[in-house]
Amino acid sequence: MGAVMLQGTGSDVGKSVLVAGLCRALANRGLTVRPFKPQNMSNNAAVTVDGGEIGRAQALQAMACRVEPHTDMNPVLLKPQADRTSQLVVHGKVRGTLGAGNFREGRGALLTEVMESYRRLRAQCDVVVVEGAGSPAEINLRAGDIANMGFARAAQVPVVLVGDIDRGGVIAAVVGTRAVIDPADAAMIRGFVINKFRGDPALFEDGYRQIEDLSGWRGFGVVPWLRATVRLPSEDAVILEKRADRGEGRVVVACPILPRISNFDDLDPLKLEPGIELVMVPPGQPIPAEAALVVIAGSKATVADMAALRAEGWDVDILAHRRRGGAVLGLCGGYQMLGRRIDDPDGIEGPPGAIEGLGLLDLETRLAGSKALRQVVGHALDAGFTGYEMHMGETTGADRARPFARFDDGREDGAISADGRVLGTYVHGLLASADLRRALLGRIGVEGAGVDYQADVDAALDDIAAELERHVDVPALIALAREAGEPTS
């Protein structure tokens, strides 16, 4: 049939959620659908069925389509390692590093591979729903662009612009986009959607018509504030800032927000537990003394984040927590930090070097070799789980004699301290298992609710799709997708 692309007036306007909701709405109409994001920048990633990695949002969108995630759905992934450099992942595999000096040149050269993935997806389905990145109004980034109009024009995919009314200035954001972009780019935009509206949409009717008159684009609908969004996996650091609410009478699980924290959506299933208050601890704040469990999440730059943890004084907080009998869980990079030492002799994550860890487990990690990317099934804490590995390096030491997990293929993973209060593993996605979540929480005196996390996310996608069907002209978007032309690149 074709394709349609959602671009935004800025970052965090809700493109990822709208793409996921539209994918589910189209799938519920009986269409075969695939998500696609030419270029993503995120340290939250997922392992695909073909043994690569893609942005976490595209894995969620694949779930919305009721298909397995594949590397073609996000052919270019940039994973920030430092303020000026990002790891470059192409078709699911690490290809090197892009810095401020070679970013545009390196990015533009990837358009051919982006188009290869797009063509493969389009051949598999009725509709490809494409997500842009950032905003086409960032005209300073237009040269070499593969994420927004550079892709749309090469693929001949019609665009719908998403504006966020909750942040204010949405009329200027939509109309201003028309004013600053190249006329040939503007011709690719066929309409707009207003997102995150609170209250009665009738109050915005005049503004809606004014956007249509001033931009020359038609409106496809006004989407209300989607409450079901909080039940979806987190994608980026913007969400972290919105999850620091405190509750009353619940057991605290605390996670420090390190500069290169990654895959922190591992903690999202804890939101289903009424007895748990998840506290994401921002820089400058101590880890709560009342925490029963401290979780150190994954990291894109483990050595640098270990140094940051120490600079914040969080190492003192964690060691004091441990002396009080508190439990500690390290996930992937967090697991490496639990050991005595982390070595990066080849500079895989940054400048070559080494750093002392927390010393809570008798382990050492050497960052070397190829990246482990695999989906896994196994048992841990006497409970079954499914998850995935996504890490560099090898961890060895005496505490590996008490593995955290045993996989069905016979391998062992992670380590547990002699008293069972410090646990570390390379596996992501563990807490999605209700049985394993219950077993872990039992160690801090909390009875898990046993809610099926994947089923809850799936139900949230249906709820969002139903809202889009009520408030967006979905048949018109389907008709627009049919207008997609044949790629020119």
Predicted pLDDT of residue 7 = 98
Q: Over range 35-59, report the average pLDDT.
A: 95
Residue 241 has pLDDT above 60, yes or no: no
Q: Over range 395-418, report the average pLDDT.
A: 97
Nearest to 231 by CA among 185, 268, 188: 268
Predicted pLDDT of residue 239 = 47
- Number of CB atoms found within 10 A of residue 472's CB: 23
Residue 267 has pLDDT above 70, yes or no: yes
Predicted pLDDT of residue 235 = 66
Quote the percentage of the chain above a pLDDT of 70.
Answer: 95
Both structure tokens of 411: 């391998």
Beta strand 76-80 pairing with 39-41: parallel
User: CA dihedral defined by 360, 361, 363, 366, rounded to 10 degrees?
Assistant: -50
Residue 16 has pLDDT above 60, yes or no: yes
Residue 244 has pLDDT above 50, yes or no: no
In which band, very low, low, confident or very high, does the pLDDT at 296 lie, cut at 50, 70 and 90? Answer: very high
In which band, very low, low, confident or very high, does the pLDDT at 1 lie, cut at 50, 70 and 90? Answer: confident
In which band, very low, low, confident or very high, does the pLDDT at 101 lie, cut at 50, 70 and 90? Answer: low
Lowest pLDDT segment from 92-96, 407-411, 429-433? 92-96
Quote the percentage of the chain above a pLDDT of 90.
Answer: 86
Residue 242 has pLDDT above 50, yes or no: no
Lowest pLDDT segment from 231-245, 295-309, 420-434? 231-245
Both structure tokens of 232: 């979806």
Residue 62 has pLDDT above 80, yes or no: yes
Predicted pLDDT of residue 243 = 44
Predicted pLDDT of residue 249 = 67
Give the sheet arrangement for strand 383-391, strand by strand.
Answer: 412-413, 405-407, 372-380, 383-391, 427-428
Q: Which of 70, 91, 428, 471 is catalytic?
A: 428
Question: CA 337 to CA 357: how far, in whole Å?
Answer: 5
Question: CA 345 to CA 55: how far, in whole Å?
Answer: 28
Predicted pLDDT of residue 351 = 86
In which band, very low, low, confident or very high, does the pLDDT at 348 lie, cut at 50, 70 and 90? Answer: confident
Residue 299 has pLDDT above 90, yes or no: yes
Q: Is 332 a catalytic residue?
A: yes
**36, 132 contact by CB (below 8 A):** no
Residue 238 has pLDDT above 60, yes or no: no
Residue 212 has pLDDT above 90, yes or no: yes
Q: Which of 91, 332, 391, 471 is catalytic?
A: 332
- Answer with the residue of higher pLDDT: 349 or 73: 73
What is the DSSP secondary structure assignment for residue 71, as one 8-state letter?
A: G
Q: 64 to each of 33, 113, 272, 339, 463, how far by Cα in Å?
A: 9, 25, 20, 38, 11
